[in-house]
Chains A and B, each alone.
Chain A
Amino acid sequence: MDYILAGISVGGQYALIAIGYTMVYGILRLINFAHGDVFMVAGLIMIYATTAMPLYLSIPLVLIITVLVGFTIERVAYKPLRTAPRMSVMISAIGVSYMLQNVALYITGGLAKTYPAIPFLSDTVTIFGATTKWVTVITPVLTIILIIALVLLIRFTKIGIAMRAVSKDFETSQLMGVKINRVISVTFIIGSLLAAVGSILYFANYPSVVPTSGAMPGLKSFVAAVFGGIGSIPGAVIGAFIIGICENLIRSLSIGGVSLTPFSDAFTFALLIVILCVRPSGLFGEKTIDKV
């Protein structure tokens, strides 16, 4: 039970990050390597913000600044490369990720920063005989609420329709009068916002931020997005929960007395490779056909 509870909680946090990956990929066909680092930056901003102001101010501030960071990254590092080959954009994403980590390293001086305790979220609670923090319980609920809101947004608003059009066919939708740049910016804004929320939940649970904190959750969320079928929001969410639960379960397993705990990360990647080889479009992804 403990394992599943931990898995659901971490899965919810992955889900919030995974949506950012899946939306950007759906529209730009770009693996936004910097997304995990945006998540880390949100954590750092929170730490610095709380030293200067009370929580009810710093949380909105974190959301706003993170969104700005995401928006700026898109404008500065991806927009000029819109016509460039895909590999260049991806390299640019890796460059941004490298830069964010180095700037974080410079500012923090390489020391692990302790995330502030958030009242209520950080308090402990006992459910089903497992002791945990409130945040563990709240994460999946909050995740699902946010996802429903997002799905509604994409279904029924004008910008949502535009987003779906762009992800179906970039050029045609441009010809149809969709303002591509605006759609892409909105995508990045939503992605960063969810990453910021995810970061608050994640670091409330695991309160230590180092410059590389974003790398692992980022990669795993990406795997979740691929697992669920990249471009599909419900797919990403389900993929994230599955990965969260699996990686916690694997820590409880041992085969013939040999503990499998060291392989919890390796397992995630193995899963990714199997999925890519067996069903590259993921659980819910659409099949793509190469046109010559």
Chain B
Amino acid sequence: MKKILAIVLCLAMLCGCLAGCGEGDTAGGDKVIKIGIFEPASGANGAGGKQETLGIKYAHSIQPTVTIGGETYEIELVEVDNQSADDKAVTAAAELVNKGVSVVLGSYGSSVSIAASPTFEEAGIPAIGVTCTNTQVTEGNQHYFRICFLDPFQGSVLAKYAWDNGIKTAYTLAELGNAYDLGLASSFKDAFEKLGGKVIAENFPTNQADFTSYITNAKKAGAEAIFAPTSTTYAQLIIEAAATQDANMPLYAGDTWDSNVILDAAKGKNVTINVTTFYQEGGNAEYDKGFKDWINSDPQNLTNNGGNDIVAAVSAMGYDAYFVALEAIKAAGSGDAAKIKEALWNVDYTGVTGQIKFDSVNGDAQRSVAYIKAADTATGAWKFVKEQGV
């Protein structure tokens, strides 16, 4: 019986191989240019990845074609889920390559981008990082671009903001093993200490749910603010713990906290939350309205956005990334990946999140300001605070 099963499975494998080989040839139709969406839809970063994808899809719904040399090409979006996991990211990237995409957008979360980078490089396909803020994503790579700011920048911005608000001692809380958290925390620490402040840095292990003792530690250390650039799952718990214990310290965080989850968690609680972000809702009324209408038009979109129509910064970034890709395709004059890669270096595009122009070393967007927002705990919405530079 077992042997029969073995045979059947072997045959299935063989068929799969053949089918797989067949698939590769059909890629690249006449009038279609494929753009890959390399985002997590599950795993730790699932929520953010979905919102970023929404931005890209909204952009596609507005501009589903591109005109090159008088001919109109259809843009087709190809989505894969990298599951927020490095090993899955490699095959997810391979899947995109095999489906014949010309340029890739993503991902939310840096380590998956780092893991997928060699695959894109070998295939000669350019990738545009949307909100992966770790330096290693683009460093030394000629094919990976990025339209957002970097961890060191974001950390310094928040350090400056905290210092300007009279904070002298800060407590940073990051998830052990999470490069994003620790990257921001360490650059915050460097910048804040340079300004003359004092920083107490602590890390918590993965799957932590009980933050009571960490808040107590912060209080004991005499911290006046908590900097917790964690993922949204932990953010909820940290807000809860801070509110319960009446910590009375402002919570600072990076772009991940710019999410509805945070607003829900903070609503009606006695907490102050400030985040840096890429885009401020209300910054571009036309985009906001269009995006909201589009989200509300489909219940599936609404679910993916976390159940309401708040415009997340990552969606705006996704939106801009799509148009940057279109600009590059236009400049390249074809859907050829190599040409797009060359063209990307010279793209200069002003989107809803500001001007996007890549530097000539690593292909990072040159950004000099970040937006700072505060959660309004009474209404459950974001309030714009200021634009902050370093």
Contact = CB atoms under 8 A, between A and B. Distances in A.
Do chains A and B directly touch (beta carbons under 8 Å) in the complex?
yes
Nearest to B219: A2
Nearest to B232: A112
Chain A interface size, as a band, is 35 or more
B385 interface: no
A236 B345 CA distance: 63
Interface string B226-258: 000000110011001100111000000000000
A144 B355 CA distance: 62
Nearest to B265: A114
Interface in B254-273: 261, 264-265
Interface string B337-378: 000000000000000000000000000000000000000000
B135 interface: no
Contacts of B220: 252
Interface stretch (A23-31, A153-161, A204-212, A277-285): A204-212
B41 interface: yes
A207 B269 CA distance: 14
Interface stretch (A71-79, A84-92, A260-268): A260-268
Contact of B47 (A3, A110, A216): A110
Contact of B212 (A132, A217, A259): A132
B301 to A, nearest CB: 13
A57 B32 CA distance: 55
A109 B244 contact: no
B176 A206 contact: no
Nearest to A208: B236
B316 to A, nearest CB: 20
A265 B241 CA distance: 19
A47 interface: no
B236 A262 contact: no
B209 A131 contact: no
Contact of B176 (A109, A132, A252, A262): A262
B207 interface: yes
A179 interface: no
A212 B232 CA distance: 15
A212 B44 CA distance: 10
Contacts of A109: 41-42, 46, 50, 303-304
B28 interface: no
A174 interface: no
A3 B212 CA distance: 8
Contacts of B213: 2-3, 6, 248, 251-252
B217 interface: yes
A109 B214 CA distance: 29
A264 B205 contact: yes
Interface in A98-123: 105, 109-112, 114
A132 B244 contact: yes
A124 interface: yes
A3 B245 contact: no
Contact of B202 (A2, A131, A206, A261): A261
B203 interface: yes
B204 A131 contact: no
Given A6-B213, A206-B237, A114 B46 contact: no
A213 interface: yes
B124 interface: no
Interface string A174-212: 000000000000000000000000000010011110101
B381 to A, nearest CB: 17
Contacts of B380: none
Given A132-B245, A215-B207, A248 B233 contact: no
A63 to B, nearest CB: 21
Contacts of A114: 236, 261, 264-265
Contact of B209 (A2, A3, A208, A259): A208
B79 to A, nearest CB: 15
B237 A259 contact: no
B43 interface: yes
B76 interface: no
A6 B41 contact: no
B209 A213 contact: yes
A266 B204 CA distance: 11
Contacts of B303: 109
B217 A110 contact: no
Contacts of A217: 209
A133 interface: yes
A206 B212 CA distance: 10
Interface centre among B47, B210, B236 (most CB of A within 10 A): B210
Contacts of A210: 233
B42 A110 contact: yes
Ranked 9 nearest A-B pairs via Cβ? A110-B46, A110-B42, A6-B212, A206-B209, A216-B207, A251-B213, A2-B216, A208-B236, A112-B233
Interface of A: 2-3, 6, 10, 105, 109-112, 114, 124, 130-133, 202, 205-208, 210, 212-213, 215-217, 248, 251-252, 259, 261-266
16 contacts: A2-B212, A109-B50, A110-B40, A110-B41, A114-B236, A133-B244, A206-B241, A207-B237, A207-B265, A208-B240, A208-B265, A213-B207, A251-B214, A261-B203, A261-B214, A262-B205
Interface of B: 40-43, 46-47, 50, 176, 201-205, 207-214, 216-217, 220, 232-233, 236-237, 240-241, 244-246, 261, 264-265, 303-304, 306
Given A2-B212, A114-B236, 15 more contacts: A2-B213, A3-B216, A109-B41, A111-B50, A111-B306, A112-B47, A130-B245, A202-B209, A208-B209, A212-B207, A248-B210, A251-B217, A252-B220, A261-B214, A262-B204
